[in-house]
């Protein structure tokens, strides 16, 4: 049997295959008003296409736990019931196709309030539907970014509650997997890394203090997320600033803590927290980080980053480097990648009846 097409069980949930869709922002929601953060026709068509293409698990784009937690004014959110109802339309369809629906819960921190990438991605103010970003310290991501307000301890606890409330809404919206976004230089990653966290209180300084906020979020989400449903955590395995930032050694150590606190799988990415970092990209360049976590901790892992080929993906799972692969841009290019991979490898995916003539 193809390793990619073996089912994968976490807690009481069985995901039909190991080909998963990585969260990718679409920047296509209304920026304000009653439709702010609400998934619309674009989002339905986007996720539906990958489900009918055989993808085993689909994780939504980074979904703001608050309006201020969005990366851009055009991102999705899950801070109100209007958003919940719109997400139900998507999750119902994904489940009907045999695909597991997952949501990535996120807070952008100091990298919030930016324009869409095809509009340049620059920070925006109130005249561009923007707002004042926040972070662990008053350190901007780049010179052109706004200086974030440093969160008080009381404000940190508000954000922790927002993650928990967002998880409750995600459950009501029909999601089977929740993923906490702790990567790519967004708020949780900012707290983890000494590059962006210069606090001197209980949330800064030592490794234990810098991981405190992340673990509080995990505990708050796990407390409201059902025991039978899995919880993921996405991490940047390194800032690519060794030894001045968050490192691969930190990630291995932290994976053990996440496992103890009820996380079921680590989604292993890298970078995003230091604009000047030099990142040696190439096919599967982040897979060794996932493989190390899998080898040195009890936590299952998913690998992501320039995974494009069918044989490449099959070897990653078959060789035990990761339990699953997360495809990003490749699924933007080819929504039916999983179905085509099944044909090449002799695997099996559910094909919708109207598409049976294509098999």
Whether 186 is catalytic is yes
Rg over alpha carbons for the chain, rounded to the nearest Å, is: 19
Any alpha helices (H) in 17-61, and if so which ranges?
A: 41-52
Determine which one of 27, 47, 74, 186 is catalytic. Answer: 186
Q: What are phi and psi of 171, to 5 degrees?
A: -65, -45
Tokens of 220: 């708050």
Euclidean distance between CA atoms 236 and 270, whole angstroms: 4
| Cβ count near 133 (within 10 Å) | 23
Q: C-alpha angle with apex 185: 215 to 212, nearest 5 degrees? A: 20
Euclidean distance between CA atoms 237 and 301, whole angstroms: 12
Bridge partners of 302, per DSSP, are 267, 324
What is the β-pairing status of strands 177-182 and 100-106? parallel
Tokens of 348: 């099996």
Q: What is the DSSP string of 269-319?
A: E---S-TT------TTTTHHHHHHHHHHSS--EEEESS---HHHHHHHHHT
CA torsion angle 181 186 192 195 (round to 10): 160
Any alpha helices (H) in the chain, and if so which ranges?
A: 41-52, 81-96, 153-172, 187-192, 207-210, 212-224, 248-260, 287-296, 310-318, 329-333, 337-345
Sorted by sequence, the CB contacts under 8 Å of residue 165 that are 6+ apart come out as: 65, 79
Q: Are 192 and 186 in contact (CB under 8 A)?
A: no
Kindly list the catalytic residues: 186
């Amino acid at each position: 049997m193809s390793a990619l097409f073996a089912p994968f069980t976490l807690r009481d949930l069985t995901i039909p295959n190991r080909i998963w869709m990585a969260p990718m922002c679409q920047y296509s929601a209304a920026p304000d008003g009653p439709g702010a953060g609400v998934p619309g026709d674009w989002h339905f068509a986007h996720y539906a296409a990958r489900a009918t293409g055989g993808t085993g698990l689909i994780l939504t784009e980074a979904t703001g736990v608050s309006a201020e937690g969005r990366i851009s004014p055009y991102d999705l959110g899950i801070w109100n019931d209007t958003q919940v109802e719109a997400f139900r339309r998507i999750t119902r369809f994904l489940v009907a196709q045999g695909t597991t629906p997952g949501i990535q819960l996120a807070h952008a921190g100091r990298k919030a309030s930016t324009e869409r990438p095809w509009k340049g991605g620059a920070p925006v103010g109130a005249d561009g539907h923007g707002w004042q970003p926040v972070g662990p310290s008053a350190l901007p991501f780049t010179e052109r970014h706004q200086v974030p307000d440093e969160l008080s301890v009381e404000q940190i606890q508000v954000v922790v509650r927002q993650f928990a409330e967002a998880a409750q809404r995600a459950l009501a919206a029909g999601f089977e997997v929740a993923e906490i976004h702790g990567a790519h230089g967004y708020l949780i990653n900012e707290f983890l890394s000494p590059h962006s966290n210069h606090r001197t209180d209980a949330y800064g300084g030592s490794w234990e203090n810098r991981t405190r906020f992340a673990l509080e979020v995990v505990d708050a989400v796990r407390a409201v997320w059902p025991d039978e449903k899995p919880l993921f955590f996405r991490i940047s395995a390194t800032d690519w600033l060794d030894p001045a930032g968050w490192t691969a050694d930190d990630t291995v150590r932290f994976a053990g803590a996440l496992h103890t606190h009820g996380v079921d799988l680590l989604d292993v990415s890298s970078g995003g927290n230091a604009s000047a970092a030099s990142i040696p990209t190439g096919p599967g360049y982040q897979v060794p980080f996932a493989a190390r976590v899998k080898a040195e901790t009890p936590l299952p892992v998913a690998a992501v980053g320039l995974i494009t080929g069918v044989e490449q993906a099959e070897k990653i799972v078959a060789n035990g480097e990761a339990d699953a692969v997360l495809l990003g841009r490749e699924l933007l290019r080819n929504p039916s990648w999983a179905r085509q991979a099944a044909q090449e490898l002799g695997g099996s995916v559910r094909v919708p009846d109207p598409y049976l003539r294509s098999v």
